[in-house]
Amino acid sequence: MFAALLSRKPGRRPATLLSALLRDESGATAIEYALIAVLIAIAAIAGFQSLGNELLTTFSSVSSKMNDVNSRA
């Protein structure tokens, strides 16, 4: 990304420098991978939250049934 800045010649116009920076795509791949990782993390968090709610319901039901059995004994 900074290759365009480092290769700047003394007589180079700022518009040429800007166009060189816009053409440089070396950081684009890293940003794409970061966006994919963020989307995967969001999906995982949503899935784990849903799973957690189902587990809470299941364990609450089991606990309630165990309390009923213990109260009869």
In this prediction, residue 1 carries a pLDDT of 47
Whether the predicted model's global pTM rises above the 0.85 cut: no
Distance between CA 20 and CA 73 in Å, rounded?
81
End-to-end CA distance of the chain: 74
pLDDT score, position 9: 58
Question: Which residues are CB-contacts of 1 (< 8 A; sequence separation ≥ 6)?
Answer: 21, 24, 26, 27
The pLDDT, as a whole number, for residue 38 is 96
Blockwise average pLDDT, block size 10, the chain, 73 residues: 54 69 74 93 95 94 93 80
